[in-house]
Structure 1
Amino acid sequence: MKITFLGTGTSQGIPIIGSDHPVCLSNDFKDKRLRVSVLVEWDGYTYVVDCGPDFRYQMLRENVKRIDGILFTHEHSDHIVGFDDIRPFYFRQGGVPIYAHKRVLKSLKTRFDYVFAKKNRYPGAPEVKTNRIKKNTAFKLGNLEVVPINGKHAKLQVFGFRFKDFAYLTDMKTVSDKEIEKIKNVKVLVVNALRIKPHQSHFNLDEALAFIEKVKPKKAYLTHISHMLGFHEDVEKSLPKNVFLAYDELKITI
């Protein structure tokens, strides 16, 4: 299984428009972060988790010519507003499968009503094949069973996903012990770590590290990172030996 970090930044990305924060002015490419998303590939299958405002560029940068579907963690803009840019995939391969909580599907149908229109469809609109993810029900993607991991982003329900030995969680603030059991001892865990100070809807660094200690993966990578976490090079030196900061374009194989 190959994982490509398409984006590892928070909702505004890094650098933030107009910011003179030192991290936003950094020349280190690892401090430049697009909105958070990953590409997951195995046995000829290609899936994307979330498609935010940088989706088009991310697909071009990685030369992705086909996707077998998109999984959505939740409906916030930094995770869904690249949805219209699935059109080239639709034109090339037909309706694109999407997988999401029923609430997220409803949000997509509201914000991108033309995609789901049954009558008088605009001829350039893409088509999708909707698949509802249920909280406690695993589902098949190709030849692989995927386990949804239920968590809270402040009060909002969000999904993480376990793909065999790889678990991906973002925008988490609380995860129950029952859900943690579903990802215990995975080989690779990805989890959000927004900043040093506590935040109302995201793990901060200490919370992310405590969560990693509960899960006990062989390796963990931090994502959904803001400029307030600090410089990539400095933060990386402070982490436990099996924990790393993810960065855009990082590729790992499991």
Structure 2
Amino acid sequence: MDRLLFLGTGDAMGVPRVYCDCSVCMEARQTGVNRRLRSSVMVEGEGGSFLIDCGPDWRSQMETLEKRITEKVLVTHAHFDHIAGLPEWADACRWTDRKGQLYAPMEVITNIVVQFPWLKNNLELIAIDDGIQLAGWHITGWKVCHGKNGYSYAYRLEQGDYSWVYCSDAINLSHMEKQPMVGLNLLVLGTSFYHETAEFSSRSVYDMKEAEQLLQEINPNKVIYTHMSHDVDLSQDYRLPQEVTLARTGLEVVLS
């Protein structure tokens, strides 16, 4: 049975934010309902599994799963909260005498190598501009607007008549960028805030109010919001659309 497991559901700073004493951060420190590591998921399917993104919390996420190694990682973009765990992963591969497989579009690989030029010693860097098959899923990626932070990649995964998309870091998508999202069984979408009031030109990820407009256009069957900041309190009722769920660490979703 194929499944999706949420290892981290937080934005770039995670929750609690180290400098913050807001009610959400304080709750995260005390009872942990809102405690969020940086966003990452594991896809388990036919013949294996892989991660999407490998941020600074990779080691903690692996310990929680009681897993000693990661074999394959698919990367969305070369920002700290999505790739900072790569050196630890590569070092684990060195100590266990194996070579991990890192998948990403070539321009993302190029940016990763600039930051961590030694990774290629212990990781096989595989460009997937023409798509890839992983764990029984056919995966295609496309560039999406990441606002002031440039770009990220979203991934569409297909198996039989089931299709879903992982898009953790995007905002203000164009018509062309939305097209691979139309009519999905599942959309996993980053929404850092319920309603973000910062100047639009300074922003980089959808908020939940904007995401609701997007959902009306693309009409997915089911939606899970992730990449959430300390603005989002999981104990609150935000009166979201019926098909929307807020991700929690450890959330498992059957992909069928």
Q: TM-score, normalised by structure 1?
A: 0.87
Q: Which residue of 2 aligns with 1:4?
A: 5
Structure 1 residue 143 corresponds to structure 2 residue 136: yes
Which residues of 2 match residues 42-81 of structure 1 at below 5 A?
A: 42-81=45-84
Structure 1 residue 128 corresponds to structure 2 residue 128: no
Greater shift in the superposed pair: 144-153 or 99-108: 99-108
Q: Report the CA distance between 1:92 and its aligned residue.
A: 3.7
Q: TM-score, normalised by structure 2?
A: 0.87
Counterpart Cα distance in 1 of 2:188 and 2:235: 19
Q: Report the CA distance between 1:28 and its aligned residue.
A: 4.6
Counterpart Cα distance in 2 of 1:89 and 1:30: 33
Does structure 2 retain, via aligned residues, the 8 Å contact 1:90–1:96?
no
**What stretches of structure 1 of length at least 5 have no aligned partner?**
117-125
Q: Deviations over 1:45-71 (max 9, x none)?
A: 211111111001101111234534111
Q: Deviations over 1:98-146 (max 9, x none)?
A: 1122232122212222223xxxxxxxxx511111132xx3322243210
Q: Which residue of 2 aligns with 1:238?
A: 239
* Counterpart amino acid of residue 179 in structure 2: E
Structure 1 residue 13 corresponds to structure 2 residue 8: no
Q: How many residues align?
A: 241
Q: Which residue of 2 aligns with 1:119?
A: none
Counterpart Cα distance in 2 of 1:92 and 1:162: 32
Q: 1:252 to 1:197 in 2, by over 3 A?
A: same
Q: Report the CA distance between 1:253 and its aligned residue.
A: 1.0
* Counterpart amino acid of residue 188 in structure 1: L
Q: Which residue of 1 aligns with 2:111?
A: 107
Counterpart Cα distance in 1 of 2:136 and 2:190: 28
Does structure 2 retain, via aligned residues, the 8 Å contact 1:221–1:245?
yes
Q: Report the CA distance between 1:190 and its aligned residue.
A: 0.5
Structure 1 residue 248 corresponds to structure 2 residue 249: yes
Counterpart Cα distance in 1 of 2:180 and 2:252: 24
Q: Which residue of 2 aligns with 1:152?
A: 145
Identity %, equivalent residues: 27
Structure 1 residue 208 corresponds to structure 2 residue 208: no
Q: Which residue of 1 aligns with 2:102?
A: 98
Structure 1 residue 163 corresponds to structure 2 residue 161: no
Q: Which of 162, 165, 173 is residue 175 of structure 1 equivalent to? A: 173
Q: 1:143 to 1:221 in 2, by over 3 A?
A: closer
Q: Deviations over 1:72-120 (max 9, x none)?
A: 111110111111121334544621111122232122212222223xxxx
* Counterpart amino acid of residue 15 in structure 1: P
Counterpart Cα distance in 2 of 1:157 and 1:147: 16
Counterpart Cα distance in 2 of 1:144 and 1:68: 16
Helix, strand or coil at the partner of 1:70: strand
Q: Which residue of 1 aligns with 2:196?
A: 197
Helix, strand or coil at the partner of 1:108: helix
Aligned-residue RMSD, C-alpha: 1.9
Counterpart Cα distance in 2 of 1:169 and 1:108: 19
Q: Report the CA distance between 1:149 and its aligned residue.
A: 3.3
Greater shift in the superposed pair: 176-185 or 189-198: 176-185
* Counterpart amino acid of residue 169 in structure 2: D
Does structure 2 retain, via aligned residues, the 8 Å contact 1:46–1:66?
no
Q: Report the CA distance between 1:34 and its aligned residue.
A: 0.5
Moved beyond 3 Å, runs of 4+: 65-68, 89-93
Greater shift in the superposed pair: 27-36 or 16-25: 27-36
Q: Which of 34, 37, 40 is residue 37 of structure 1 equivalent to? A: 40
Counterpart Cα distance in 1 of 2:72 and 2:172: 27
Does structure 2 retain, via aligned residues, the 8 Å contact 1:66–1:93?
no
* Counterpart amino acid of residue 131 in structure 1: I
